[in-house]
Amino acid sequence: MKIIVCENYDGMSRRAYEEIKKVMTETGGECVLGLATGSTPLGLYKCMAADCEAGKISYEKTRTVNLDEYVGLPAANEQSYRRFMRDNLFDKIDILEENTRFPDGNAEDLAAECERYDELLEKTPRDIQVLGIGSNGHIAFNEPGTPFDGRTRVVELKESTIKDNSRFFASEEEVPRRAISMGIRDILQSKKILVLASGGNKAEAVRAMCRGEITERCPASALQRHGDVTVIVDAEAGAELC
């Protein structure tokens, strides 16, 4: 694992963008980016949008796959992850909408949808996967206790996650109780993995991910088994790494 501690959130975002730019340059933009939602990658997405708006980079040939989606929220709902990605990145870069993929949280047959997404992931190997990390060590919606060989599946959200995510909804009752999430095995299939973390509430999870025992109690510790992981954190999130 390569670990980079930056001074602050902006530095973390700019350094993360360097990693994305490297992949984009090496592939001439013809690559698959695995993308994540959440507050952490917003600065990275701003950097991507700014360079694209300035004509310095193009995503016309790029494909993306996202980690997860809520079950039961219409795609246009402000809190759906598809809408999040549209508002914070896709509408600001020249990517083609048909090249952006999500699990369909409104599919009639959710089990079949999980299988479809896994097949899609097999056919579209990611060049780099962007990840945030939960304060409990989760990656995507893979909460502590998730087997490392898990594939895409429907997950019941933990009370703590419902509480965390309620900040984006009018009330806790409105937070969906289920989501479709890539599994840890799917995440590990990406050629490169880029983990971002910011803030003191992530410091212990970052330590456990990088230096702790490899255990299902900390889903992110599975990343120690991958050969090409770059962890970029701000000073607060990296405080326990010494």
* Binding residues vs ligand PGA (CB under 6 A): 38-40, 132-134, 138
Quick check: is 226 catalytic?
no
Q: How far is CA 58 from CA 5, 35, 61, in A?
A: 28, 17, 8
Torsion sign (Cα): 101, 87, 45, 90: positive
* Token digits of residue 97: 């909408």
Smaller CB separation from ligand PGA, 38 or 57: 38
Smaller CB separation from ligand PGA, 38 or 103: 38
Beta carbons within 8 Å of 79's beta carbon, 6+ residues apart: 70, 73, 168, 169
Quick check: is 8 catalytic?
no
Smaller CB separation from ligand PGA, 132 or 183: 132
Quick check: is 68 catalytic?
yes
* Token digits of residue 39: 């507050």
Quick check: is 26 catalytic?
no
Query: Contact 6/233 with Cβ under 8 angstroms?
Result: yes
Least CB distance to ligand PGA at residue 130 (A): 10
Task: Please tell me which residue in 66, 136, 142, 165 is annotated as part of the active site.
Answer: 136
The CA-CA-CA angle for residues 118, 100, 134, to 5°, reads 70
Task: Please tell me which residue in 143, 186, 234, 236 is annotated as part of the active site.
Answer: 143
* Residue sitting closest to ligand PGA (CB): 38
Task: Please tell me which residue in 19, 68, 69, 113 is annotated as part of the active site.
Answer: 68
Smaller CB separation from ligand PGA, 25 or 39: 39
Least CB distance to ligand PGA at residue 79 (A): 13
Least CB distance to ligand PGA at residue 157 (A): 11
Cite the DSSP H helix spans in the chain: 9-27, 42-53, 81-88, 110-123, 159-165, 184-188, 203-211
Smaller CB separation from ligand PGA, 134 or 238: 134
Task: Please tell me which residue in 19, 69, 127, 138 is annotated as part of the active site.
Answer: 138
Strand partners, 39: none
Least CB distance to ligand PGA at residue 28 (A): 30
Query: Contact 238/199 with Cβ under 8 angstroms?
Result: no
Give the active site residues.
68, 136, 138, 143
